[in-house]
Structure 1
Amino acid sequence: MNTLSSHVLDTTLGKPAQGIALTLTCPDGNQLKGITNADGRFNDWFSGEKATFPAGVYTLRFHCTPYLEARHGKCFYPHIDITFELEENGGHYHVPLLISPFGFSSYRGS
């Protein structure tokens, strides 16, 4: 069983990035959508139901333009795609994103 969460931090402000829209593309092509909360986090992929994900390759798109333009007046990356692979029974996967108007970084979190 695999679970998935994300967290977005604005490194320029040193604060969580609230209100960033997310699109998760699953291995079968289905897409799930979400938006980061006040703490910059999201994990409610199935609206209150416990979400589990099969093994496969996923792409998580962070739609950054509205957030970055509203707070910093600029956005070099209109969206950021992070493609990753979930293993069979890999447990919990956490995909954090650190953003600024001109850069980003990610890693496998816990």
Structure 2
Amino acid sequence: MSLSTHVLDAVQGRPAVGVPVRLDVARPDGWLPVARERTDADGRIRFAPDLLGGPHRLVFDTAAYFQAAGVEHYFYPEVAIAFTVTDPDAHHHVPLLLSPFAYSTYRGS
């Protein structure tokens, strides 16, 4: 399975550069972190781990991003997007459209 994300800053109208993102996989005793990356100059990350089917989660450290950008007021210090991998051979793309007081996501391709 390949997994990627793309974070866009809706207020600035450009990619969100340097957002810390953690990839977790669900285990019986809770979430296990398997990778940590930062978005590149285009706001993208392509995760390297080969993952199996089942629940996964991307956790975006939006507080770190907003603070680095000088944004004083924001509502979501973290965005966690949980999703289920049903086809481990397929590519999964999980974009995030971000602003200080809202966010949206969808299953991309």
Which category of TM-score, normalised to the shorter sequence, fits these structures? Answer: 0.7 to 0.9
Alpha-carbon separation, structure 1, partners of 2:66 and 2:2: 28
Name the structure 2 match of 1:93.
92
Q: In 2, distance between residues paired with 1:44 and 1:57?
A: 16
Q: Amino acid of the residue matched to residue 43 of structure 1?
A: R
In structure 1, runs of 5+ residues without a counterpart are 46-50
Q: What do residues 3-44 of structure 1 show as CA deviations (whole Å, max 9, x unaligned)?
A: 100110000000000110011111234312111101000014
Contact 2:51 2:88 in 1 (8 A): no
Q: 1:18 is paired with a residue of what secondary structure?
A: coil
Length, aligned pairs only: 104
SS of equivalent to 1:68? helix
Q: TM-score, normalised by structure 2?
A: 0.87
Contact 1:96 1:107 in 2 (8 A): yes
TM-score (norm 1): 0.87
In the alignment, does 2:37 pair up with 1:30? no
Structure 2 unmatched ranges of 5 or more: none
Stretches of 4+ moved more than 4 A in 1? none
Q: Distance in 2 between matches of 1:97 and 1:11?
A: 10
- RMSD value over aligned CA atoms? 1.4
What percentage of aligned pairs have identical amino acids? Answer: 38
